[in-house]
């Protein structure tokens, strides 16, 4: 009997081991993974899948990561490798990748150069660059100094954490992977940029004493220029080029003529897109003064269904600015809330333009009123609102950040700050559409201020919103979801007292009761087996 049991156990062990070996062999051929994150952060997005499916020629990605980096850099390295595996599998092998440790590429001559350390006239340690370091410099991947613990000593190690994407003779670089948030977006947009035949063209309307695109909007222009071709258009002398897909009208201070407005109206009626970032005043922070603005576009925008109301929105949910204060003989910088810069805690979670974005500031904004028929050919979405604790201040505006901010209860309420319109937008001028024809499907974004895209306020959240705005105007909604991964906040759900009490007692009594129940079940099973043996 015992020999029989030994044989059965041996057969069972062999069967289990064989099943495990077979499972491993099968897993080499077939791959599957389960992503349980709330926003599917570790799965490739639809936009990435479409981009990979459209690849006609191979793309090579080289990840240059120094080996044996400490956390969190080692975690980033593993994430990059896993992500590139996903790109390779999702492209049916069209995306090839290499993971390279630059130190392992050093030659014997390079190692000798690293030993030949000298001092310059200032006493600084210098040496000749190795061939690997020269190659990294030519690629545009800089070295970073990382503290590592080796042999119980804290040392500074020279490391690389960059990515190069190659397509044909062209190369695009991610110089340093400091964080994995947004890495999929960066890779996908670089692949699109390299493989597309022509970049979409975006025009910025100049003149009218507005912000200078090449100076005051330098960061904005550089940000957009990474993905699109940016051109300046002066509507006083020229038409909007036919190959322009979207137009940005940013903060004009003098009225646009009727002829200029007609050019914009015809452009929109043809099915193109436009964003109007319009101010009622321009602030001078150094003097705490404001200058009235008349852009002349109020009637044009109202014709599309959005009325720009006078005044500035003041919001209790606002950004913090630093204010210099004199304390005796010392002048210190003190952070204060500045209600003229609303910072809504949540943007529209339903609209692709703002889904997943947070920490966006909207300085010196005017409220917007939406007048679009519910069943009409135009869809209107209010995508940014101020908080319920906001109100409107009419001119003259007091910009003093140290003033007492007060408002009566009947004045408080959420105000519309950004509105998105899409559909067959009604032309403001009758001759913008040929007789007998209907306007084509277009998109318009109306923002009650332009300062949020200026160099002074272009934070990470604002940059994400600007790029989402361009993608939405250019009908690339799928790419919006990739950029905003990791940007949305996941606050804890507030529980009421009843729920807190229930959870507390479950924690206190639940586990002990489960252990007791498990013990009772085990005891009853053991008693049953003993009864069967005696029978």
Q: Could you give phi then psi for residue 256, rounded to 5 degrees?
A: -80, 135
- CATH number, domain of 139, equals 3.40.30
Domain end call among 449, 467, 483 = 483
Decide: 469 and 353 in contact? Cβ < 8 Å: yes
d(CA 406, CA 229): 46
Prediction pTM value: 0.69
pLDDT at 340 over 90: yes
60 assigned to some structural domain: yes
d(CA 143, CA 105): 15
- Segment 311-322, tens digit of pLDDT: 999 999 998 888
341 assigned to some structural domain: no
Structural domains counted in the chain: 2
* 368, 224: one domain: yes
28 assigned to some structural domain: no
- What b/e readout covers 313-323, taking b as 16+ CB neighbours within 10 angstroms? bbbbbbbebee
- CATH number, domain of 282, equals 3.40.50
* 259, 358: one domain: yes
* Dihedral sign of CA atoms 390, 393, 399, 403 in order: negative
- Segment 232-264, tens digit of pLDDT: 999 988 899 999 999 999 999 999 999 999 999
Averaged over 23-47, what is the pLDDT? Answer: 64
Q: Please tell me which residue, 212 or 170, carries the higher pLDDT value.
A: 170
- Segment 178-190, tens digit of pLDDT: 888 778 888 888 8
184 assigned to some structural domain: no
- Segment 349-407, tens digit of pLDDT: 778 788 778 789 999 999 999 998 888 889 999 999 999 999 999 888 888 888 888 77
153-159/144-150 β-pairing: antiparallel
Rounded to the nearest 10 degrees, what angle do helices 108-115 and 131-139 cross at?
Answer: 100
312 assigned to some structural domain: no
- Return all residues near 48 (Cβ < 8 A) that are at least 6 apart: 87, 90, 184, 187, 188, 482
**DSSP 3-state assignment of 113?**
helix
d(CA 276, CA 16): 67
How many other C-beta atoms are found inside a 10 Å radius of the C-beta of residue 528?
10
**DSSP 3-state assignment of 515?**
helix
* 238, 354: one domain: yes
* Dihedral sign of CA atoms 513, 519, 522, 527 in order: negative
Domain span at residue 462? Answer: 200-307+348-384+413-483
How many other C-beta atoms are found inside a 10 Å radius of the C-beta of residue 59?
22
**DSSP 3-state assignment of 418?**
strand
* 141, 255: one domain: no
* 249, 107: one domain: no
| CA angle at 36 for the pair 33 and 42, rounded to the nearest 5° | 65
How many other C-beta atoms are found inside a 10 Å radius of the C-beta of residue 334?
12
* 255, 147: one domain: no
149 assigned to some structural domain: yes
d(CA 285, CA 76): 41
Q: Is residue 396 reached through a cis peptide bond, with omega within 30 degrees of 0 on the bond before it?
A: yes
Decide: 290 and 253 in contact? Cβ < 8 Å: no
Query: What does the pLDDT read at residue 363?
Result: 93
Q: Alpha helices, DSSP H only, in 196-277? A: 218-225, 258-269
* 159, 243: one domain: no
190 assigned to some structural domain: no
d(CA 209, CA 211): 7
- For all residues of the chain together, what is the average pLDDT? 83
* 236, 375: one domain: yes
* 122, 258: one domain: no
Nearest alpha carbon to residue 420 among 481, 349, 354, 487: 354
Rounded to 10 degrees, what is the CA torsion of 445, 450, 452, 456?
150
Q: Alpha helices, DSSP H only, in 117-250? A: 131-139, 183-195, 218-225
170-174/125-126 β-pairing: unpaired
Domain end call among 442, 467, 483 = 483
* 422, 375: one domain: yes
Q: Is residue 416 reached through a cis peptide bond, with omega within 30 degrees of 0 on the bond before it?
A: no
pLDDT at 32 over 60: no
**DSSP 3-state assignment of 151?**
coil
d(CA 482, CA 418): 22
* 281, 355: one domain: yes
501 assigned to some structural domain: no
* 49, 159: one domain: yes
């Amino acid at each position: 009997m015992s020999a029989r049991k030994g044989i059965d156990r041996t057969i069972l062990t062999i069967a289990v081991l064989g099943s495990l070996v077979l499972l491993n062999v099968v897993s080499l051929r077939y791959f599957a993974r389960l992503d349980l994150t709330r926003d599917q952060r570790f799965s490739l997005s639809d936009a990435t899948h479409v981009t990979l499916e459209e690849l006609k020629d191979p793309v090579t990605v080289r990840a240059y990561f120094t080996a044996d980096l400490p956390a969190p850099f080692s975690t980033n390295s593993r994430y990059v490798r896993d992500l590139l595996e996903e790109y390779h599998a999702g492209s049916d092998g069209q995306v090839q990748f290499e993971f390279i440790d630059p130190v392992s590429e050093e030659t014997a001559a390079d190692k000798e150069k690293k030993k030949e350390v000298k001092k310059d006239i200032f006493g600084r340690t210098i040496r000749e660059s190795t061939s690997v370091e020269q190659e990294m410099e030519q690629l545009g991947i800089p070295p970073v100094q990382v503290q590592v613990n080796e042999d119980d000593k804290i040392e500074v190690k020279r490391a690389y954490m960059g990515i190069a994407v190659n397509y044909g003779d062209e190369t695009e670089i991610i110089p340093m992977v400091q964080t994995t948030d947004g890495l999929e977006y960066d890779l996908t947009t670089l692949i699109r940029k390299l493989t597309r035949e022509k970049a979409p063209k975006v025009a910025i309307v100049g003149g009218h004493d507005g912000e200078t695109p090449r100076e005051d909007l330098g960061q904005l222009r550089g940000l957009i220029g990474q993905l699109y071709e940016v051109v300046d258009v002066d509507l006083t002398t020229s038409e909007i080029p036919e190959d322009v897909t979207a137009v940005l009208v940013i903060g004009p201070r003098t009225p646009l003529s009727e002829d200029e407005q007609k050019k914009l109206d015809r452009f929109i009626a043809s099915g193109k897109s436009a964003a109007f970032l319009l101010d009622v005043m321009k602030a001078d922070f150094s003097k705490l003064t404001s200058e009235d603005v008349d852009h002349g576009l109020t009637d044009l925008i109202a014709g599309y269904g959005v009325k720009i109301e006078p005044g500035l929105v003041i919001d209790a949910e606002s950004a913090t600015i630093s204010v210099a204060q004199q304390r005796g003989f010392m002048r210190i910088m003190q952070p204060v809330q500045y209600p003229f810069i609303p910072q809504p805690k949540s943007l529209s979670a339903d609209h692709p333009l703002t889904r997943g974005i947070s920490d966006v500031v909207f300085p010196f904004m005017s409220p917007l009123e939406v007048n679009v028929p519910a069943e009409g050919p135009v869809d209107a979405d209010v995508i940014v609102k101020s908080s319920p604790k906001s109100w409107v201040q009419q001119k003259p505006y007091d910009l003093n950040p140290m003033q007492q901010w007060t408002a009566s209860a009947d004045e408080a309420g959420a105000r519309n700050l950004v509105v998105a319109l899409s559909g067959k937008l009604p032309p403001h001028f009758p001759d913008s559409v040929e007789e007998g024809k209907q306007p084509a499907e277009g998109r318009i974004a109306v923002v009650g201020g332009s300062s949020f895209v200026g160099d002074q306020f272009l934070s990470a959240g604002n940059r994400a919103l600007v790029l989402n705005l361009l993608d939405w105007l250019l009908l690339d909604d799928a790419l919006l979801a990739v950029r905003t991964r990791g940007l949305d906040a996941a606050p804890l759900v507030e529980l009421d007292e009843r729920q807190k009490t229930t959870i507390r007692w479950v924690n206190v009594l639940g586990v002990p009761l489960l252990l007791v129940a498990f013990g009772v079940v085990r005891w009853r099973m053991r008693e049953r087996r003993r009864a069967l043996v005696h029978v």
